[in-house]
Structure 1
Amino acid sequence: MHMKQYKLLEQVFVKIRNIGDVINELCYGRPLVADGMDRIHTLQEIRQEIIESEIVAEAIKASLSNKSKLGDWEVANLHCISRLHRTLKNVPADLLSALTTARIDCRNRWLLFREGSESAKNVMERLVDVVKLSSEVAQIKSGDLGLASKYDVMLKMHDGDMDTKRIDEVFTDLGAFYRQFFSEVLEKQSGSKIHLAKSITCEKQRLLHEYLEASIYASDVSLIDVHRKDYGCSIFRCEDFGGVSCDELDYRVGLRGALDNIGRTLYCVNLPKRWRRQPVGDFPGSVMFEAQGMLMSRHLLMDSRFMSFVLPAMKKTFSLRGKVADSGNVHRYLSEVRPELLLERADEVSSLAHVMLRCALEKELINGDLAVEDLPDAWEQGVKYYFNQVTKTEQEGLLQDDYWVSGCFGYLPSKVLGAIAATQIFSYIDDPKVAVLENIESGDFSGLTAWLSKYIYSHGGRYSSTTLLKKITGRRIDVDAYKNHLVNRYLSM
């Protein structure tokens, strides 16, 4: 009887996932059909009715009471189902519909703003609604889940291991370290000469990215199987995969983006297929997801063995010659730190400031301590504090990307926690005793991908992000290890 109830839950949550996938296509497909919003609202109501069903609640309760009769993976899936159920229930349908409408409208206005056919003022007016409605949902869920603040709700939507207390501890530690460290790095690098490449077309850059994809994915990975963790306009949603940006005068932007996507794609492709449509078959949260991209874009990229592998292809594809093509020059170029005002283009160091600033501001927005109309001034103060600069255009400011206009609050802190986790994981696998990086110089990534598949990908959501990190490295989020990494990379080289 109890096994039947668990199997019912498996069937129900496949349906919930499928509905979410369709909602996602309607929300973010191009273009949104004339009656698309009505369809989205109808599907959301259907999904919410399923989630709120007494049958589902009773099946979860009965299954939890008799989980000793289930296998290990089934128990893990049951706990994932229970967490997802608690997260999604008790949100009024009309509030969810209003939030979805506001988010889509605000993001669409932002897209027009980015093209130059909409004013920042109009985008900000709609952002007021997005913040207000997001805060209302978070208020309901904070009481429902027994969380300390509305911002805690946002954080836990993306990763159950994130909460305000933990984020504040990490960012207080990093904040005390950051400004002096940033100044010391800029001073140290000011004496280093970097020879810049001439303009490199996006087509040539894409050729290198495709070469890296082919080399790292290898023949045992089928990209057809790629699926992504969709928030599907559920309550809060963030884009996990974006197109790789291209700057013809700075190939680092595209190279980092390509490696980031490679790491994330490998993760999604190699999640446990038996549990693919179940909650436990997904990654445990945004922290470990971000870590997989950063393993590639921040650590593999800067590894001397990888550089020996990729440099000949870079020289050939980009037509690099002379001092520009020197391995030392390329390394200095890739490790250059500067006060970059665009998060998308930011290096490993300046991106920390971006996330710390945004986390502080969005926490105040959601908790009701900062009004949207005061956000531009607060943003400028933060830019001045961290970078000692002022934004020159509206495109450099708080509307530079679509996190906030899409209602994606609480996601960005996972980029810092993910960076710390990636540092710990790479440090572990860089040990000669682990021996998974030794063949990279010859273009053989099978040791690396096999290790990642065995120790990270294959677990899906069976363990939380930090529990999985501890199983691998013996430590949860270790800020000191991350600070030591930054000092060693940028001040000891």
Structure 2
Amino acid sequence: MKAYNFLENHFKEISIINQISDILGWDKEVIMPIGSLSARIEQSSYLIKLAHEKICSSLINEKITEALEDMSSLNDWQKANLLEIKKIFDDYASVDNSLMREYSSLRQECEMVWRSARKNKSFIEVKPYFAKLLLAVRKIAAVKADYFKVSPYQALVNEYDSNRKVEEIDSIFSELKNFLPQFIEKVRSTQGEKPKLGGYFPIELQQQLGIEIMKDFGFDFNKGRLDTSTHPFCGGIPHDIRLTTRYDENDAFIALQGIIHETGHALYEKNLPLEYAYQPVGRNLGMAIHESQSLLTEMQIGRSDEFVEYLIPKLIKYFSVDKTKFSQDNIAKYVKYVEPSFIRVDADEVTYPLHVIMRYELEKQLIGGDLEVGDLPAAWNDYFRQTIGLTPDHDALGVLQDTHWYSGIFGYFPSYTLGAVTAAQLMNSIKKVIPEMNEQIRRGDLKPIYDWLKMNIHSKGKLFSSDQLLVNSTGESLNPRYFTEYLESKYVHG
């Protein structure tokens, strides 16, 4: 136990370093002045260097080996924690510290340039920065691929969903690509025109509405806050959760749906096992499970007819609008309307997977060297026209719309749709356990749903693999059938 106890104490220190880095990352996205970028890059690079050195020392390797030989003395949580510690050590040891520091600097620089390029609708502005960043990502992917004996792209996917093989993603996405085009046509042929809910919605009132709804979902404002950013996200640390959204005074639902989505992420972080808050086993299980929590919250609950019924009195309370415009029928149609669109984060849940699958296939080509930076905008536009049926008028509607690649994040995109598939499977099980669920949502009583999620998903941390977690909570491993059945029930038979 001595070696294991040493590792627990050591990795608590590393966890604190990473939490400081996370708060600095939130600050950079939300309130840091642009002129402070160079100082922030130095700060972040130092923290990465410090964590890397603390993880990759020969002493840590010796302690891991010693603890593995004494695993019989550990309980299940400790065994899982030790295996996670070894996984982290291997991940860090596989890449030279100087390459990781270079990557950290390049990603922060590129992301800041991307903000301006997106505003100016000009990929050319960010192209040289992105080219250097992509080269660093390819180097990291190649080194990790050699170390772990996997493909370069699999090595990147493992950072966000470590238990999911690319071949399985290919199979699930192939099934969805075969299902979605005809299904979209079927839905669009019967849904009629989209209701017009536009008006003037003061940002201050939108914020107040969002905060009220976050509280109803169970968000604790004593340990978190809501702010504004270019791209909505959930950041911070489990004891200090930072949510952001973006506002449009002409459309209250853009901010609202962003808030509901990010609240799903926040509740997952809030309910992780407190006993292991500073240990690897106490962290979230990966981004596919994380996205399942946000999409279950936003789509399965937040765009249901029952939630709309709960929402209408709140909309009327905050905004001076024609009550007939905010009828049950109008809002239900509005939040479930299926329509091909340019921006992924604004897409409906039926066309959304096509946005993700496109990015997945393009980034595989970028990492594999089959697609170069200069050819990316044209490849994006061609693919978008073929799959979504639209051609972007400018880069901000196309290749510049997401922050991920310009922040050096590759292998994340599949998690969004894998999360949607997982959410449908989880909700299918929740409905069996809580038959009165729909009535509870109608009343705004969401606690029973999140009690089930806390008990079966959130509180388990990394104790199980994602598939084992699903088997334990739903009876089977990931199955896309529940997602397609959910879509058919909601959009065709609902």
Change (3 A) 1:241 1:470: farther
Equivalence for 1:97:
101
Question: Counterpart of 2:111 in 1: which secondary structure?
Answer: helix
2:144 alignment partner AA: K
Change (3 A) 1:424 1:223: farther
Question: Counterpart of 2:325 in 1: which secondary structure?
Answer: helix
The question of whether the paired residues in 1 share the 8 Å contact of 2:288 and 2:416 is answered with yes
**Quick check: 170-179 or 461-470, which moved more?**
461-470
Tell me the distance in 2 between the aligned counterparts of 1:263 and 1:350: 21
Query: How many Å apart are 1:319 and its aligned residue?
Result: 3.1
Equivalence for 1:430:
431
Change (3 A) 1:253 1:228: closer
Equivalence for 2:161:
159
The question of whether the paired residues in 1 share the 8 Å contact of 2:235 and 2:243 is answered with no
The question of whether the paired residues in 2 share the 8 Å contact of 1:285 and 1:464 is answered with no
1:153 alignment partner AA: A
Tell me the distance in 2 between the aligned counterparts of 1:249 and 1:345: 15
Equivalence for 1:172:
174
Change (3 A) 1:146 1:74: same
Query: How many Å apart are 1:248 and its aligned residue?
Result: 3.0
Tell me the distance in 1 between the aligned counterparts of 2:212 and 2:221: 16
The question of whether the paired residues in 2 share the 8 Å contact of 1:107 and 1:406 is answered with yes
1:358-397 correspondence runs (5 A): 358-397=359-398
1:78-89 correspondence runs (5 A): 78-89=82-93
Change (3 A) 1:34 1:124: closer
Equivalence for 1:243:
244
Question: Counterpart of 1:243 in 2: which secondary structure?
Answer: strand
Tell me the distance in 1 between the aligned counterparts of 2:235 and 2:326: 39
Equivalence for 1:235:
none
Tell me the distance in 1 between the aligned counterparts of 2:38 and 2:303: 48
1:392-403 correspondence runs (5 A): 392-403=393-404
The question of whether the paired residues in 1 share the 8 Å contact of 2:187 and 2:491 is answered with yes
Tell me the distance in 2 between the aligned counterparts of 1:417 and 1:63: 34
1:151 alignment partner AA: Y
Query: How many Å apart are 1:47 and its aligned residue?
Result: 2.4
The question of whether the paired residues in 2 share the 8 Å contact of 1:299 and 1:423 is answered with yes
1:44 aligns with 2:43: no
Equivalence for 2:64:
60
Q: Matched residues, percent identical?
A: 29
Q: What TM-score does the superposition give when structure 2 sets the normalisation length?
A: 0.91
Query: How many Å apart are 1:457 and its aligned residue?
Result: 1.4
Query: How many Å apart are 1:437 and its aligned residue?
Result: 5.3
Structure 1 vs Structure 2 CA RMSD: 2.4
Tell me the distance in 2 between the aligned counterparts of 1:141 and 1:325: 53
The question of whether the paired residues in 1 share the 8 Å contact of 2:8 and 2:279 is answered with yes
Equivalence for 2:204:
203
1:480 alignment partner AA: R
Query: How many Å apart are 1:339 and its aligned residue?
Result: 0.9
1:125-274 correspondence runs (5 A): 125-147=128-150, 149-189=151-191, 191-192=192-193, 194-217=195-218, 221=220, 223-224=222-223, 243-274=244-275
The question of whether the paired residues in 1 share the 8 Å contact of 2:260 and 2:298 is answered with yes
1:45 alignment partner AA: K
Tell me the distance in 2 between the aligned counterparts of 1:46 and 1:382: 42
Change (3 A) 1:432 1:9: closer
Query: How many Å apart are 1:92 and its aligned residue?
Result: 1.3
Tell me the distance in 1 between the aligned counterparts of 2:207 and 2:47: 38
Equivalence for 2:314:
313
Query: How many Å apart are 1:192 and its aligned residue?
Result: 4.5
The question of whether the paired residues in 1 share the 8 Å contact of 2:309 and 2:442 is answered with yes
Question: Counterpart of 1:405 in 2: which secondary structure?
Answer: helix
Tell me the distance in 2 between the aligned counterparts of 1:432 and 1:42: 49
The question of whether the paired residues in 1 share the 8 Å contact of 2:264 and 2:295 is answered with yes
Change (3 A) 1:327 1:40: closer
Question: Counterpart of 1:158 in 2: which secondary structure?
Answer: coil
Question: Counterpart of 2:190 in 1: which secondary structure?
Answer: helix
Question: Counterpart of 1:392 in 2: which secondary structure?
Answer: coil
Equivalence for 2:6:
8
Tell me the distance in 2 between the aligned counterparts of 1:14 and 1:114: 39
The question of whether the paired residues in 1 share the 8 Å contact of 2:202 and 2:249 is answered with yes
Which ranges in structure 2 are unaligned for 5 or more consecutive residues?
226-232
Tell me the distance in 2 between the aligned counterparts of 1:368 and 1:241: 36
1:443 alignment partner AA: G
1:55 alignment partner AA: L
Equivalence for 2:228:
none
Tell me the distance in 2 between the aligned counterparts of 1:310 and 1:196: 14
Query: How many Å apart are 1:306 and its aligned residue?
Result: 2.5
Change (3 A) 1:35 1:314: closer
The question of whether the paired residues in 1 share the 8 Å contact of 2:307 and 2:442 is answered with yes
The question of whether the paired residues in 1 share the 8 Å contact of 2:194 and 2:337 is answered with no
Tell me the distance in 1 between the aligned counterparts of 2:186 and 2:234: 39
Tell me the distance in 2 between the aligned counterparts of 1:471 and 1:169: 23
2:155 alignment partner AA: V
Tell me the distance in 1 between the aligned counterparts of 2:56 and 2:129: 30
Tell me the distance in 1 between the aligned counterparts of 2:257 and 2:489: 20
Q: What TM-score does the superposition give when structure 1 sets the normalisation length?
A: 0.91
**Quick check: 413-422 or 426-435, which moved more?**
426-435
What whole-Å deviation, never above 9, does each CA across 1:398-431 have from its counterpart, x for those lacking one?
Answer: 1112111001111111000100111111121123
Equivalence for 1:236:
none
1:164 alignment partner AA: V
What number of residue pairs does the alignment pair up? Answer: 478
Query: How many Å apart are 1:436 and its aligned residue?
Result: 5.2
Question: Counterpart of 2:250 in 1: which secondary structure?
Answer: coil
Query: How many Å apart are 1:166 and its aligned residue?
Result: 1.3
Equivalence for 1:109:
113
The question of whether the paired residues in 1 share the 8 Å contact of 2:152 and 2:368 is answered with yes
Tell me the distance in 1 between the aligned counterparts of 2:438 and 2:430: 7
Tell me the distance in 1 between the aligned counterparts of 2:460 and 2:40: 37
Tell me the distance in 1 between the aligned counterparts of 2:215 and 2:194: 33
The question of whether the paired residues in 2 share the 8 Å contact of 1:429 and 1:437 is answered with no
Tell me the distance in 2 between the aligned counterparts of 1:441 and 1:37: 47
The question of whether the paired residues in 1 share the 8 Å contact of 2:22 and 2:235 is answered with no
Change (3 A) 1:119 1:340: closer
1:456 alignment partner AA: I
1:78 alignment partner AA: L
The question of whether the paired residues in 1 share the 8 Å contact of 2:218 and 2:267 is answered with yes
1:276-287 correspondence runs (5 A): 276-287=277-288
